[in-house]
Structures are given as C-alpha cells and as structure tokens.
C-alpha cells in the first residue's frame, strides 16, 4: 500500500497521477482537515472534497477547484436570502456538504462520512481525514485572527500573516487507521502541498509526526516550491511567517526529521547541497503537473524512488 | 389586520388574492407546519415555503409548487451520492432549507427563521407557523404508519388511510403572536386547504381552536371541496377516514363551532340548508382560482363578507 499525505490543489494532481499508475485500491490518502469550515450551517471539507472529486474524475480541471459542469443556482439564492456567499459552493458540491452534514448530525465520524461519500462516487482509494476531531487553522494577521478560508478565499491571501496555529490540535487524535496506514505503508509520499497550512496540520496531530519518523517505509516529499515561488497559493508568505526560507531548502527543513527523499525542480539544483546537509536526499525531476501525462510521469518517478 | 389560516397549494391562491387586494402588511398568515419534514438533514416546511414563495412572486404557477425557473442539479447529485430523492427539492428551494436549518441550529425558533426568510424575499405580510414546536402529521394506513410527505409525495396518496394523528401536538404551544393575531384580527379566513391535514393541525394546537371560538372577528371559510370532490389533493379520502362526509357539509361540520360563514361553489347550492342547520351561513361564490383575476375577485368577496 502506498500512502500519500496531502492538502487540496497541488497534492490532488500527484494523487491523480498515483491512482493512474497503481491499483487505486492500493493507494491510501491522509487529508488535511484544518481548512474545514462551516458555511451556511454545512460542514465543508475542501481538501477531502478535492481529493474525492479528483479521484472520481468529477473535478473541474480548468478552474482547478470544484466539480466540472457546476452551477451556482443555490448559492445565488442564498445571496438573495441575505447570506454572505464569498465561498463558492456549486449546486453539486452543496449536495456533498448537505449529505456530510446530515451524516455527522446522525453521529457518524468524518472518517465514516468520507468513506460513504467516496464509495458512492466510485473512489476505490481509502481517503482518511487526518483526524475526526475538529481542528481549525487560524491565521493571525496584523488586523486580527481569521480562519484559513477567510484568509485564502475571502481576502485572497493579501493580509500580512504573523503566524498560523491550529485550534484544537493539542486535544486531537489521529483518525482511525491513520497510524496503522503509516506503519504499514510500502512507501509514503508528502504531496506538493503547502507545508504550513496543508501538511503542517497533519504533522501536528499528536502521534502522526512520530509515526512518520518511525515508519519502516521511505518517506518522500515533492516540493511545492520551484525557484523560491510556490507553484500555487500562499506557501511562500506562510513559510516566511514561520521562519522557514521559502525555497526547497525550507521544505527540506520543515520535514527533515522524517524525510528520506525530496524531489526538487531542476531549477533548484544549486540548493541540493543544502538539502543534503539536512540529511535528506534531493532528487531532481520536472515537478510541474499541467497534464495527466505529467502527473503520471512524476508519479512513476516517485513510486520508483520509494519502492526500489 | 386580516388573518388567514392556511396550508399550501389551495390556500396560497387565496392568500395571493388577499395580498393583492389589501396592503400586504395588513395581512397575517398562520401556516400549518405538521407537514414539515427533514430531508437530507435539512428542515423543510412546505406550507410556509409555498406561502412565502407565492407572496414573494417567486412561485411556479405552472407546476403549482416550488419556485419558478427551478433547477435540480443538487438533488441529482444527492441521488448519485446514494440518497433517496423522491421529495423534489430544487436548487433555489434548497437554499431556503439550508438557511432555515442553519438558523434553527443557531437556536432561532421556526417563527424567527420564517421572519428572516420572508423579509429577505421582500414579503411584507407576517407569516406565523402555527407552533414553534415540532408537530408531525402521521398517516395510519393499512400497511403501517407513514409521514404526510411519504403519503402525499412518495406514495401519491394511494394507500388506504385509516386515520391521521399529529405527533407532538398535545405538548405543543401556539407560536408567539398566534393567539394575539386571532384576538386582534378584523376578519379571519380559513383558506380552502385540506381540513384534516392542513387546517386540522392548526386547530389542534392547544389554545388555537378556543381562541377562534372566542374571536371578536367573524370567521369565514372557503370550501376546498366542490360537488364532493377536492379541488386538489386527498381531502376527500382523508375526510372520509375521519367520518366527515367529503362535501361542503363535511367542511361546515369540521369548523361549525367557530365558523360564521362558509363560501361554497354554486354547484353545492343544494347543500346550503344542511350548512345552515349547523349554525353556519353559506354564501355561494365561484371558488375556482385559476387566474390572478379569479383569486382577487374571490378575495374581494371574502373581505366584503368579513368587514361589512
């Protein structure tokens, strides 16, 4: 079994490549849930949904988020009803959130609700939330504290970030099967997701980081950063706020205690010796995943490095 | 202030006529809530919604239920996710239920949620649920007990009905302002709605029936039955199950203790003496409301009878 730790967008591309290269039933994914949020009373889990939609082949490749062929009739009506609707929930997507909220209300865990949803959509890979407990990324800005979605979607990551913390994380537990998946995996991949707000919360759930250090499988990360710029999103800014240099070296530092291999872009060749000094083996590969062929090629390289 | 007691479809037509004939702010409506149901975890209040949508001018006149220009993208996705979707919730309609459920979850009462929703849609008439407590019409059929929506929508009112009861009604209280509206009204109208499952529950909320008996205003009903057939829906069958003859005489009997006037169709002229014997004054008028002009004409007659 191959295990991937991931956030949404960037990570989903590699996950898609992996699921195309191996039997999807042999792929387990641990998802960040610290970006989860309640909108209009509905429990939204953006990273889980991105992974589920991507593996179900329902994602919108053009937009890079949400479902293909999505409409926004319900959201427009919510606006008319006086709701703030800056988080773009499409009509199909709302169905997921309605069902998930109902299942949670009935007493199911987020793990159980996720299993039900991904199974209904024909996804064979196991998708585990990092935790069934509520954990929330809080972004401390110069103008006060906001949620991740407020920072990322509503404010389009413009506020100056002082630091990020994960409310509820100290009391949280890994979801069932998470630690087992880490110890049983034949190879572990940290996807090219934001190290602070996507992978950071997963590693901060008590027990997960240590399990990764103790894992018998190799741990490989794919850098979300090329030549000191995040491929997408605010990784650069958030890393700086946490005294991590916004480069592949910063990525290596973030994971050094548990990482064996780090795939970096050829543009970052000059930083390979810095990475080696951290005890991580750098491997150069084209990490831009702008086509399915690219995703599969990178997935093949990752799998070869992990399993050889 | 004119007060109307109503269910959904038939009653909404007269309510629409009334709101066109007087200042809508002078119209108060008490709605049946015993048909309310939870679908996919969302609290749906079909009669309140029909009244709100109708007074907001958003209702689908062709279909006779729901919102004009409605789409069903979310519902189709819920089906794909494995949900039973026999209750047709459109995307705009779902927005109402999402918001209402969120407001109830936040601790608002159904009255408060209804006020917020109707105000957002520009409806000036006060719309009061009969109660803020959960009351549920249960239909006892030859094959067991089902909810009203299961009977009416899923089974298309085909099962043989033994009786109807309202779960939770004994412990319920009228919603705030309901008793006050009854005592202060200048005229009270029982709309042409089903006497068993629409008006029946309203009258069964402890205190409401007595308040109508004690009201200083005249109480007028418009028959939902013409020549022994319900204009729409299963009134006929349900009345028989409750030993009420399915005719204008049965309607008069159902309300005799509180009714002053009953508007019946000219076709039912032969039954007027039976109605008079019950102490109710029958008035003949064309009660079919198949155009806005018809609705307004009937509303004018109703208002003239109540206020003269």
What's the pLDDT tens digit per position in A87-107? 999 999 999 999 999 999 999
Closest among A203, A141, A139 to A165, alpha carbons compared: A139
* % of residues, chain B, pLDDT over 90: 92
Does the structure show a pLDDT above 90 at A82? yes
Q: How far apart, in whole angstroms, are the C-alpha atoms of residue A126 and residue A181? A: 10
Residue contact B78–A98, C-beta within 8 A: yes
Which CATH architecture group holds B2-54+125-134+177-307? 3-Layer(aba) Sandwich (3.40)
**Chain B, nearest residue to A58 by Cα:** B77
Residue contact B95–A116, C-beta within 8 A: no
Q: How far apart, in whole angstroms, are the C-alpha atoms of residue B74 and residue B172? A: 34
Does the structure show a pLDDT above 90 at A223? yes
pLDDT of B234 reads 87
Residue contact A71–B91, C-beta within 8 A: yes
Q: Count Cα neighbours of A131 within 13 Å in the Cβ-side half-sphere.
A: 26
Tell me how close the Cα of B120 comes to any Cα of chain A, in angstroms: 5
More confident residue, B122 or B230: B122
Give the list of residues 6+ apart from residue B284 with CB closer than 8 angstroms, or none. B263, B264, B265, B266, B268, B269, B272
Confidence band, pLDDT 50/70/90 cuts, at residue A64: confident
pLDDT of A203 reads 98
Q: How far apart, in whole angstroms, are the C-alpha atoms of residue A97 and residue B237? A: 39
Tell me how close the Cα of A123 comes to any Cα of chain B, in angstroms: 12
Question: How far from the centroid of its chain's Cα atoms is residue A217's Cα?
Answer: 20
Residue B31, H or E segment: strand B27-31
Q: How far apart, in whole angstroms, are the C-alpha atoms of residue B305 and residue B308? A: 6
Beta strands B42-44 and A225-226 are unpaired
Q: Which two tokens stand for residue B188?
A: 């009270």
How many angstroms separate the Cα of A308 from the Cα of each of A17, A256, A300, B232? 19, 21, 12, 73
Residue contact A40–B80, C-beta within 8 A: no
Among A45-49, A157-161, A164-168, B262-266, name the one with the lowest average pLDDT: A157-161
Q: Which residues of B touch A116 (CB under 8 A)?
A: 82
Interface of A with B (CB under 8 A): 40-42, 71, 73-78, 80-83, 90-92, 94-96, 98-99, 101-103, 105-106, 116-117, 120-121
Give me the residue spans of the domains in chain B: 2-54+125-134+177-307, 136-167
Domain A2-37+128-134+171-307 is classified in which CATH homologous superfamily?
A: CofD-like domains (3.40.50.10680)
pLDDT digits (tens, 9 = 90+) for A244-270: 999 999 999 999 999 999 999 999 999
Tell me how close the Cα of A74 comes to any Cα of chain B, in angstroms: 5
Give the list of residues 6+ apart from residue B86 with CB closer than 8 angstroms, or none. B153, B154
Q: Which two tokens stand for residue A289?
A: 């995943």
Q: What is the mean pLDDT of residues B264-282?
A: 95
Closest among B93, B96, B7 to B51, alpha carbons compared: B7
Query: Per-residue DSSP letters for B140-192?
Result: EETTEEEEHHIIIIISTT-SPEEEEEEET-TT--PPTTHHHHHHH-SEEEE-S
Does the structure show a pLDDT above 90 at B65? no
Does the structure show a pLDDT above 90 at B64? no
**Chain A, nearest residue to B102 by Cα:** A41
* % of residues, chain A, pLDDT over 70: 100
Residue contact A102–B74, C-beta within 8 A: no
Complex confidence, ipTM: 0.93
How many other CB atoms sit within 10 Å of the CB of residue B230? 20
Residue contact A91–B101, C-beta within 8 A: no
Query: Nearest 5°: CA angle at A102, between A97 and A104?
Result: 95
Residue contact B75–A95, C-beta within 8 A: yes
Does the structure show a pLDDT above 80 at B231? no
Q: Residues, chain B, total?
A: 308
Does the structure show a pLDDT above 80 at A232? no
Residue contact A41–B101, C-beta within 8 A: yes
Q: Which residues of B touch A105 (CB under 8 A)?
A: 41
In this complex, which of B81, B91, B116 lies closest to A74 when CB atoms are compared? B91
Number of Cβ pairs < 8 A linking chain A and chain B: 98
Q: Which residues of A touch B83 (CB under 8 A)?
A: 99
Q: Which residues of B touch A106 (CB under 8 A)?
A: 41
Residue contact A98–B75, C-beta within 8 A: no
């Amino acid at each position: 079994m191959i295990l991937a730790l991931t956030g949404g967008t960037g990570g989903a591309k590699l996950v898609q490549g992996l699921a195309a290269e191996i039997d999807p039933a042999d792929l387990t994914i641990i998802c960040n849930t610290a970006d989860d949020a309640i909108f209009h009373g509905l429990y939204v889990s953006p990273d889980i949904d991105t992974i589920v939609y991507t593996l179900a082949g329902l994602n919108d490749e053009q937009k890079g988020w949400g479902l293909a062929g999505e409409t926004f009739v319900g959201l427009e009506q919510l606006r008319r009803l006086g709701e703030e609707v800056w988080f773009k929930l499409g009509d199909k997507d709302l169905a997921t959130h309605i069902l998930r909220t109902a299942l949670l209300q009935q007493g199911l865990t987020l793990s159980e609700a996720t299993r039900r949803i991904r199974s209904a959509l024909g996804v064979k890979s196991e998708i585990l939330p990092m935790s069934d407990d509520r954990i929330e990324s809080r972004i401390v800005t110069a103008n006060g504290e906001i949620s991740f979605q407020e920072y990322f979607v509503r404010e389009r990551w413009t506020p100056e970030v002082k630091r990020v913390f994960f409310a509820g994380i100290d009391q949280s537990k890994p979801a069932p099967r998470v630690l087992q998946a880490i110890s049983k995996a034949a190879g572990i991949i940290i996807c090219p997701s934001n190290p602070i707000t996507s992978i950071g919360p997963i590693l901060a759930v008590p027990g997960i980081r240590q399990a990764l250090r103790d894992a018998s499988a190799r741990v490989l990360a794919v850098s979300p950063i090329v030549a000191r710029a995040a491929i997408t999103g605010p990784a650069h800014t958030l890393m700086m706020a946490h005294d991590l240099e916004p480069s592949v070296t910063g990525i290596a530092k973030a994971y050094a205690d548990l990482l064996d291999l780090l795939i970096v872009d050829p543009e970052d060749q000059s930083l390979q010796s810095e990475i080696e000094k951290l005890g991580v083996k750098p491997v150069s590969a084209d990490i831009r995943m702008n086509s399915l062929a690219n995703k599969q090629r990178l997935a093949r390289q990752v799998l070869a490095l992990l399993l050889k």
